[in-house]
Structure 1
Amino acid sequence: MTDHTTTPPFDAADHLPDELIERIRARAARHDAENTFPHDDLDDLRSAGYLGILVPQDRGGAGLGVAEAAILQQRLAGASPATALAVNMHLVWTGVAKVLRDRGIDDLAFVQEGAAAGEVFAFGISEAGNDLVLFGSDTDAAPLPDGGYAFTGTKIFTSLSPAWTHLGLHGLDTSSPDGPRLVYAFVPRSAESEGTIEVRDDWDTLGMRATQSRTTVLSGAVAPADRVVRFVPPGPNPDPLVFGIFSVFEVLLASVYTGIARRALDVAVATAGARTSKKTGKTYAQDPDIRWHIADMALAYDALPPQIASLAADVDALADHGARWFSLLAGLKHRATATAKRVVDDAMLVAGGSSYFTRSELSRLYRDVLAGAFHPSDPESAHATLASAWLGPIES
């Protein structure tokens, strides 16, 4: 995938070389067909230092910003959407660590140091039926005498399930004398860990199969005191950790689906140039209807990278959008995922019936892009957030 929509202040190939991208692309179909986790991709990315791209140089990382990581994630998603989405969840935590440190809060130094050393951090926030997401939890967080917490509950969509070494999660502590509070912490995945962590082998999905985002059942799983990082009141609030999670998650998620859109556009262009019409004797690249479809795809896609670059740069620059941050970020994610689906739909039409076969890359992109609507902020949540931002809350 050629990046010509923006001029980054770095060379993306320094972090994702062409030969690495092509190796990952060559494996993507196999991992999708076999419903297997791309351990080989993760090993290559770890060797390339990719797990530490958002870690500052003084802690062994590349020292990139969220804006640069967003460009890299678009590039990686063009090779393998599922690999990019899985790694995204690790990058969210390293991005949160950066957002906090940039704002004078260095509570996640261990995340940065661990990522630079090759540790893998998974994202354990989603719970079945919990539409509060960051603002509530059905997982019980029980305080321990030494300051640690024992977590009991079920997390879903835990990407990187076969490979993570630390699970960043939240749970609700109802024992505090000051009232219920959400506890954010990291549970290690080691033989010495207290409690039990069951990772179910239940990821058999329509698309994004290689993410292996399995269900994780926690039964008294212990986060040590030095891995309990934040206490936050339930409900919407501007806590820096909540902002860090929401901002990095939405920007990098938008980046993955924008990368899918770009790849679908590239494949459609190549296919149009390779197919010849029996009717005219010319390639479909000369067909007026096909040209209209390609132009419409490009018009939609071209709007996405600048939006991502702008908001990501604002996160890096500590811009103050106040209460507008959440609507801006939710809107970015929604536009990216909805637009990517529209672009892939048109790419299927351009490619014709061959794209309907599972051997077609577009067939896989079509299935992968459908997952975009299920990530927070989903379409309903995004519209509710934007409606409140412009119209105010619903009157009681």
Structure 2
Amino acid sequence: MTPEEILPDDLMERIRGRAAGYDQDNSFFHEDLAELAAAGYLKVFVPVPDGGLGLGLEAAAALQRRLATAAPATALAVNMHLVWTGVAHVLAARGDDSLGFVLKEAGQGEVFAFGISEAGNDSMLFDSGTTATPEGDGSYSFTGRKIFTSLSLGWTRLGIFGKDAAARNGDGELVFGFIGRETPGHETLTDWNTLGMRASQSNTTLLQGAVVPPERIFRKLPVGPNQDPLVFAIFACFETLLAAVYTGIGERAFTLALEAAKHRTSAKYGGRSYAQDPDIRWKIAEAAMAMDGIQPQLASVARDVDALVDHGPQWFPKLVGLKVRATENARAVVDIAVRVSGGSSYFRGSELERLYRDVLAGIFHPSNEESAHSTVANAWLGPLEM
């Protein structure tokens, strides 16, 4: 199935038509989520026998690009569900069925969200400020504060992790599991009032002794960097799908820039359109070349994940490099589009004004620019000598 078949034009227009209202009201995209679920969009990675579309990461990235052209905040939040289902898919393709229940439950309509990020935790997946306390029966209780919980008002399953500091002879152990919406001991704050990506409602989640039963504990890893397939699968899906969303933002901004160049007229050029202005033409060409560069990179990285290509130690530089390039590229293209479109794009309610705010969120997602450069430098030069 093509992206246009899964996300037909009429659905895209309805989603696009609601985006400005969600942004203005700082409200969650309930209607979008319901329509996407009804269209089977949340089952992209779910195998066909389980009621899904049975697609891979390359296809999911193409879909997220398309969705983001209509509603970036909706696409960003849906990413979190697709990350977990994508991780389950990537692991299964490599012979690891530890998250097989995620795909089965997604096929039954459950919605997954990502409760991983913590303020000040630069180690990301390799350490945690959340405590994971063993309860003696194989279950763990989690206490901590998770930030940027996209889909906070729509999830039915939340993937979390924390640290059992006493485990492994005091070296600590990172424990991963899922809670349900009905699980006691968690609270969603209403603290999402941001510059952009407002409909994602990425509110803070407080874990206050939320218990994950043994059958929902799916990984225990040592503190610090490691080569577990789960780490690769999370990075591969998270970074690639983020890159897809921001590439979609760039594509939409480029479309709006083209429309503006063709429809704005210039007194200087005798009432002809700005499409005849050499400076505007240069800017359009600059944006076109930027988009031409990122689209094949995104497709190539996603395709290699699907094809089980072994890039060895170069995998993480490829993934973080894609994310940084895609987000920075999108910022540059949106900026060009605003310049081409003129002062009308500066007014509140303009689609470009919203894209300008939404695209800024790209600098905050992991891996950030500093972390990405460190990862790439280490891959090529070895670790920094202390």
Superposition TM-score, scaled by structure 1 size:
0.96
1:275-315 Cα offsets, whole Å, 9 max, x none, are 11122110011111111000000000111111011110111
In 2, distance between residues paired with 1:319 and 1:143?
A: 38
Alignment of 1:1-396 (within 5 A): 10-178=1-169, 179-190=171-182, 193-194=183-184, 196-280=185-269, 281-396=271-386
In 1, distance between residues paired with 2:277 and 2:115?
A: 48
**Which amino acid letter does the alignment assign opposite residue 221 of structure 1?**
A
- 1:143 Cα deviation after fit: 1.2
In 1, distance between residues paired with 2:214 and 2:275?
A: 61
1:128-169 Cα offsets, whole Å, 9 max, x none, are 000000111000001122211110000000000111111101
**Which amino acid letter does the alignment assign opposite residue 212 of structure 1?**
Q
Instruction: Describe the shift of the 1:303–1:177 C-alpha distance in structure 2 as closer, same or farther (beyond 3 A).
Output: closer
Structure 2 residues not aligned, in runs of 5+: none
- 1:232 Cα deviation after fit: 1.0
In 2, distance between residues paired with 1:148 and 1:285?
A: 64
- 1:107 Cα deviation after fit: 1.1
- 1:58 Cα deviation after fit: 2.0
In 2, distance between residues paired with 1:30 and 1:116?
A: 30
In 1, distance between residues paired with 2:245 and 2:306?
A: 19
In 2, distance between residues paired with 1:121 and 1:142?
A: 23
- 1:176 Cα deviation after fit: 2.0
1:53-82 Cα offsets, whole Å, 9 max, x none, are 011112221000000000000000000000
In 2, distance between residues paired with 1:337 and 1:152?
A: 32
1:153-189 Cα offsets, whole Å, 9 max, x none, are 0000000011111110110012324441111110111
Tell me, what secondary structure is at the counterpart of 2:227?
coil
- Which one is further off, 54-63 or 66-75? 54-63
**Which amino acid letter does the alignment assign opposite residue 254 of structure 1?**
A
**Which amino acid letter does the alignment assign opposite residue 314 of structure 1?**
D
1:102-123 Cα offsets, whole Å, 9 max, x none, are 1111111221111112211010
In 2, distance between residues paired with 1:130 and 1:338?
A: 23
**Which amino acid letter does the alignment assign opposite residue 219 of structure 1?**
Q
Tell me, what secondary structure is at the counterpart of 1:323?
helix
In 1, distance between residues paired with 2:231 and 2:56?
A: 19
Structure 1 residues not aligned, in runs of 5+: 1-9
Superposition TM-score, scaled by structure 2 size:
0.98
- 1:380 Cα deviation after fit: 0.5
In 2, distance between residues paired with 1:12 and 1:384?
A: 35
- Which one is further off, 53-62 or 338-347? 53-62
1:308-331 Cα offsets, whole Å, 9 max, x none, are 111101111111111111111000
In 1, distance between residues paired with 2:59 and 2:253?
A: 22
**Which amino acid letter does the alignment assign opposite residue 250 of structure 2?**
A
